[in-house]
Structure 1
Amino acid sequence: MKADGDGGSKAALYLDLIRWDRPAGWLLLLWPTLSALWVAAQGFPGWHLLAVFVLGTILMRSAGCCVNDVADRDFDRHVKRTAQRPVTAGKVSVKEALAVGAVLALAAFGLVLTTNAATVAWSFAALAITLAYPFAKRHVSMPQAVLGVAFSFGIPMAFAAVQSRVPPIAWVLLAGNLFWVLAYDTEYAMVDRDDDLRIGMKTSAITLGRADVAVVMACYAAYLAIWTLALAPRGLGALFFVATALAAAQAVWHFFLIRRRSREGCFRAFRLNHWLGFTVFAGVVAGHGWR
C-alpha cells in the first residue's frame, strides 16, 4: 500500500470519493435527462448536446458526492455502509473534498456555457438544489423529495438546451420522474433504516414506517403513468408502450425484492433501478426512431 501522500494513492481516494466504481448513481440521473433530450428534439439531439449532457451528468453527480460526504461525515461514521467513505474515515480532508467538488462543478459549468443562455440560467437553480439536498436530511421528513427535484432537473435543462425555453411538458415529466426518485431512494433508505433511526437522520423510510413498500410501489406506478400519458399524444408507437410495460414488470419485481424489507433485497432493488430508467429511455428513442 502506498503512502497517503503518494499521487497514485490520492487519486484512488478521489475516485472513491466520487463513487467512480459505482456508476448506478449517475445512470439514474442520465436516463431521464437523455429521454428529455430526445423528446425536446423529437429525435436525436445531435452529438454536441449528447456529449454535454452525458459528461455534465457524470461531473455533477460526482460533485454532489463530494458535498454530500462532507455534509454527512459525522453521521456516516455511525452507518455500517458508509463508515469507510474517504472523508468520514479521515483519508480525504474536508477542504480537499470541497476543492474536488468545486473543480468538477466548474467543469460541468464550462460544458453548459457551450449551449445557450436559457440553459446557463437554469444551471444555477440546479446547482442550488444540489447543494441544498445534503442538509435537507436534517430538517425535512421526506428529504427524498428534495433529491427527486435535484435528480430530475436535467429534464428542464435538456428542453432549455434544445428549445431555449422550458415548455409545460418538461415540468410534467419532471413531476413524474420525481415519483421514480422517491421510489428508488426510499428503497435505498430502507437499507439504512436501523442506523438512521439510531442517529436521528430523517428519511422517507422512517417517515413512512410500515407503509414504505406500498408507497414505493405507488410511486413506481405514478412515474410510469405520468410519463406514458404525457408522451402518448406524441405518436411514439408500439415500441414505446412495450418499453413502458417492460419497465412496469421490473417495478413489480422490485416488490418481491423489498417486501420483506431485508437490507440485501432493498439494496439490490435500488441498484437495479438504472435498468428501469434505461428501459424507458430505450422506448423513447425507439418511438422517435421508428414511428
Structure 2
Amino acid sequence: MSTAPALNGDIPVGNWIDRWVPAAARPYLRLMRLDRPIGTWLLLFPCWWSVALAADGGPDLRLMTLFAIGAVIMRGAGCTINDIADHKFDAMVERTKGRPIPSGAISIRQAALFLAAQLAIGLLVLVQLNAAALWWGIGSLILVFPYPLMKRITWWPQAWLGLTFNWGALLGWVAVTGSIAPAPFLLYGAGILWTLGYDTIYAHQDKDDDSLIGVKSSALRLGAKTGPALVAFYAGAVALIGASGFSAGLSWPFYPVLLLSAGQLAWQALSLQMNDSADCLAKFKSNRLFGWGLLAAIIAGKVL
C-alpha cells in the first residue's frame, strides 16, 4: 500500500495540521510551509555549518537552538513574502493554485499582518545574538524582500535564492566570533552553488507552467544542459567547502567525511530524471542528507 501523502496541488492534506490544528489557524501554518520542512532545513544548515566551523571544539548548542528557531520563523516569513508577491502567478499554476492566498483562505491583508508578526518574532530571536550578528542579520532583509521579483527579471532567480538562503554561513560565524573571516565567505560561496543545484532541480517541476506564464528560471535556461550544470555547481560547492575547512584549520577527518557527503550530490546530478516531477522533488528533498553529512564532517574536523 502506498504511503505517499494526499495532496491538494503541492499541499499535503490529512496530515498533522488537519488533525491537530484548529481550522482557523491551518491556512497560516500552511502559508509558513510548516508541513513541508525541507525548506527550513535548507535555510538552517548553512547556519549550523558556520556555527560548527567557528566553534572552539563542539558547536554551541544555545546558538544552534536559536538558529533553529530563527530558521523556522524566517523561512515562514520568506514564504509569506513570496506568496504575497506571486499570488496571481500561483493561481495559474496547477501545483500552487491551492495555496492559502490564491485559494482565498487568507487575504493579502491578513498575510501582511501575519508577516509582520513573524518578523517581530524573528527580531526577538536575533537580539539574543551579539551586536555584530544583529546587524548582519538585519542586513539579510536586503536580499529577502526582492527575491520574489527575480523570476520576472532574470533567468537565474535560483542564484538570488542562494545569496539569501545561505546568509547564515556568514551570520553563524559572526554569532560565534563577533567578526568575519575568509572561511565563512568560502562557505557562503559554496552554499550559493549548492542552492543553484538543488533549486534548479526543484524548478524543473514547474518549467512547463513557467514557460506559459512568462516566469523565468534556471531550469528553463539550462534545459537539456541541466545535468552537466549540476555537476559543475556541486563540484564547485564541494571545492569551496574544502577550502573553507582548510581556512578554518579543520583536521584531517573533515575531508573523508566531506567526500562521502559529496557522493550524495553526485547521485543527485547523475541520476536526475528532469522530466519526472516526482523524481525532481525527491532529489530536492534529499539535500537534507547532504546537510547532515557536511555538519558531521565539520564537527569531525573540529573535535577529532
Query: How many angstroms apart in 1 are the aligned matches of 2:271 and 2:214?
Result: 26
Q: Determine whether 1:219 maps to 2:233.
A: yes
Q: Which amino acid aligns with 1:59?
A: I
2:156 maps to 142
Q: Determine whether 1:258 maps to 2:272.
A: yes
**One of 47, 50, 66 as aligned partner of 2:80:** 66
The answer (yes or no) to whether the contact 1:257–1:268 under 8 Å persists in 2 is: no
1:129-173 CA distance string (max 9 Å, x none):
111111111112201111000001011111211111121221111
**One of 91, 112, 120 as aligned partner of 1:77:** 91
Question: Could you tell me the percent identity over the aligned residues?
Answer: 34
Unmatched runs of 5 consecutive residues or more in structure 1? 1-6
Q: Determine whether 1:165 maps to 2:148.
A: no
CA shift for structure 1 position 42: 3.1
Q: Determine whether 1:187 maps to 2:187.
A: no
**One of 127, 130, 137 as aligned partner of 1:116:** 130
Q: Determine whether 1:198 maps to 2:241.
A: no
Q: Could you say what secondary structure the match of 1:8 adopts? A: coil
1:88-108 CA distance string (max 9 Å, x none):
111111111122122112111
Matches within 5 A, 1:1-291: 8-232=22-246, 234-290=248-304
Query: How many angstroms apart in 2 are the aligned matches of 1:47 and 1:125?
Result: 24
Give the direction of change, closer, same or farther, for the CA distance of 1:260–1:109 in structure 2 (3 Å limit). closer
The answer (yes or no) to whether the contact 1:257–1:266 under 8 Å persists in 2 is: no
Segment of structure 1 superposing worse, 202-211 or 256-265:
256-265
1:20-44 CA distance string (max 9 Å, x none):
1111001011112101001112333
The answer (yes or no) to whether the contact 2:245–2:254 under 8 Å persists in 1 is: no
Q: Which amino acid aligns with 1:118?
A: A
Unmatched runs of 5 consecutive residues or more in structure 2? 1-20
CA shift for structure 1 position 46: 2.5
Q: Which amino acid aligns with 2:72?
A: I
Query: How many angstroms apart in 2 are the aligned matches of 1:178 and 1:9?
Result: 38
CA shift for structure 1 position 241: 2.0
Equivalenced residue count is 284
The answer (yes or no) to whether the contact 1:240–1:286 under 8 Å persists in 2 is: yes
Q: Which amino acid aligns with 2:184?
A: A
Query: How many angstroms apart in 1 are the aligned matches of 2:274 and 2:37?
Result: 27
Query: How many angstroms apart in 2 are the aligned matches of 1:171 and 1:11?
Result: 39
The answer (yes or no) to whether the contact 2:51–2:60 under 8 Å persists in 1 is: no
Query: How many angstroms apart in 2 are the aligned matches of 1:238 and 1:171?
Result: 21
RMSD, aligned CA: 1.6
TM-score, structure 2 normalization = 0.89
Query: How many angstroms apart in 2 are the aligned matches of 1:233 and 1:66?
Result: 37
Q: Could you say what secondary structure the match of 1:100 adopts? A: helix
TM-score, structure 1 normalization = 0.93
Q: Which amino acid aligns with 1:34?
A: W
CA shift for structure 1 position 235: 4.9
